[in-house]
């Protein structure tokens, strides 16, 4: 088992946490996801078959890029949409 710690942008509330957790646990081989609102960190425990790129691509696709990546308006809008979805489905 491997662990990835990813610092992300646009994390604001429990809705974000719900969406991130659901999307990442939907990836085959992801065992556990822990999102920390205070540190903007996502900790992912996964099997060897999962690589960091797959995790960061999923996060980017729902509006939560790594903190080191470009965070333009479109990405911020995606995060707002993901946040609302997370609030409605929690």
> Which sequence spans correspond to the domains of the chain?
2-88
Q: Which residue has the higher pLDDT, 43 or 68?
A: 43
CA separation (Å) from 9 to 1, 21, 28, 62, 63? Answer: 26, 15, 24, 11, 8
Domain 2-88 has CATH 3.30.70.100: yes
DSSP character at residue 8: B
* Inter-residue contact 3 to 43 (CB < 8 Å): yes
State the number of CA atoms in the 13 A half-sphere of 18 facing the CB.
14
Checking if the pLDDT of 42 tops 70, the result is yes
> Model pTM?
0.85
Count of C-beta atoms within a 10 Å radius of residue 65? 23
Q: Which of 7-16, 32-41, 44-53, 70-79 has the least mean pLDDT?
A: 70-79
- Going by C-alpha positions, the residue among 57, 62, 48 that lies closest to residue 11 is 62
């Amino acid at each position: 088992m491997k662990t990835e710690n990813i610092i992300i942008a646009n994390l604001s509330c429990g809705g974000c946490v719900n969406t991130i957790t659901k999307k990442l646990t939907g990836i085959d081989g992801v065992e556990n996801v822990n999102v920390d609102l205070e540190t903007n960190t996502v900790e992912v425990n996964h099997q060897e078959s999962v690589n960091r790129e797959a995790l960061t691509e999923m996060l980017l696709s729902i509006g939560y890029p790594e903190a080191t990546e470009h965070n333009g308006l479109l990405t911020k809008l995606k995060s707002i949409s993901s946040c609302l979805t997370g609030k409605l489905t929690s």
